[in-house]
Structure formats: C-alpha cells, structure tokens
Amino acid sequence: MNNGPDIVEVHDLLVTFSRWGQTVRAIDGMSLKIPAGQALIVTGPNGSGKTTLLRVLSCLLAPEQGEVLIEGKPAGKLRPTDIANAVFHVHQDPLIGSVPTMTLFENLVLADEEACLHRLNRKTLAARNRSLLLPLGLAERLQQQAKTLSGGQRQILAILIASLRPAKVILLDEPLAALDATNAGICLKLIGELKKLGKTIVYVTHDLNRVELFADRIVTLQDGRILSDHPAHESQK
C-alpha cells in the first residue's frame, strides 16, 4: 500500500437525501485518507454510498457536514479551474467522457495542455501517444468524430483523456459496466497506465475480479459507512 502523503482527505462526511418522506443518510460520518499514487477500490452493495462519495470528491455535491481536502486545501474553497486541474471524473456512461461533435484529435488536444499550447498536429500527437493509441486501433482514426465510435471505444477515449489531463486524482464510476469483455480488458490496461503515470485512482465497482491488475487497497461501504478497509492483496487470500 502506498505510504506517500495524503492527496485526498475526507473528514466526518454527512450527506442525506429525502426518499418517500424519510431522510436517508447516503454518507454517514465517513472519514477516509487516500495517499498520493494509490489505486483505491471502493465497493459495496447498491445504495451503500459509492457514487455519492465520488460526487463529493469531484465537488459536484457539497456535504452537509464534514470536509474534503484535496492536496491539503478545502475543496469548498477551490475555484472550478482548480478542481478541474486536480480531479477528473470518468463516468459509467461512456457518452459523457468526450465531446461527441469533436474529432478524436480535437478531444485529445483539449485534454493535453502541452499539445494545445504548442498546437501539435495529428501526426505529432499520434506519435506522442503511439503506445496507447495503436493497440486501440485509434491511431488512424484521429479525424473521426467521437460520436461515431462505439460505446466501448468512447469509454476507452475517456480513460485516455484522463491520462492526458493534469489532474492527479482520477475518479472512475463503474467504467466497465456497459462494456464487452474485449473493451473492458483494454480499459483495465489503460487504468493500469494511469497508475504508472502516478495518478491517484478511486475506482468504484461491484466486481472485484481483475482489479488485482492495479489495485492497492479495497474499501467496502455499507449504509454510507466504511465496513472494511484493507490492502488489496488480503482479499486474494
């Protein structure tokens, strides 16, 4: 398990919502620290608070109680641009992760600040990302609009975009849920590449199979609380 400085800290979070006239605690007094560079798996049954936690970490949802710190700074005080440069959210729906009317090239340039700054052409951008693009069959399709790709290819593109963003923390919400086995395997390899780049990964999933490829730690939620928290290798015993 990574023992570096904590890049994300969650202290005594409370998030509630109303259902059928009753108040439900989606997150109930949760505290959590995530070291930089760690690949954290968050699992648990439906309604355990997994997606709510990601929404809080991405600053899409403000907790009613408690605090989120990103690199030691209160998330509630960060500017939208600071949040965008610190945290990148890959959604379960592959249609959300890219701009559909833009080409693959334009999506990648938009994600890659250096490419945008230096106005790299398609050939140069493809060369820079050759090891990632070629196995996906995308190196020769950079002029194709993202909306013409399959759902699996769109999700692959979304994870590739995450690798190019300056964000140090990557949130993944069931990214393989709608994918076939082939595209799911490619996405898992790309997530492994994110870890090699030093990204901190928070990966929500019901399925713990295959996460051993990159997981350092597994946190299990139940009723908005942490039920267990242990190194990933312990779950394989």
- pLDDT tens figures, 97-108: 888 898 887 887
**Containing H/E element for 172?**
strand 169-173
Beta pairing, strands 217-222 & 200-204: unpaired
Nearest to residue 177, comparing CAs of 95, 236, 101, 100? Answer: 95
* Partners of 8 in beta bridges: 34, 70
Instruction: Indicate the pTM of the whole model.
Output: 0.86
Instruction: Give the pLDDT of residue 118.
Output: 45
Arithmetic mean of pLDDT, 148-167? 85
Arithmetic mean of pLDDT, 220-231? 94
Please write the tens of the pLDDT for every residue from 166-220.
889 999 999 888 788 888 888 888 898 889 889 999 999 988 887 878 899 999 9
Instruction: Give the pLDDT of residue 124.
Output: 59
Instruction: Give the pLDDT of residue 125.
Output: 54
- Domains of the chain by range and CATH? 36-62+79-101+145-236 (3.40.50.300)
**Percent of the chain with pLDDT strictly greater than 70:** 86
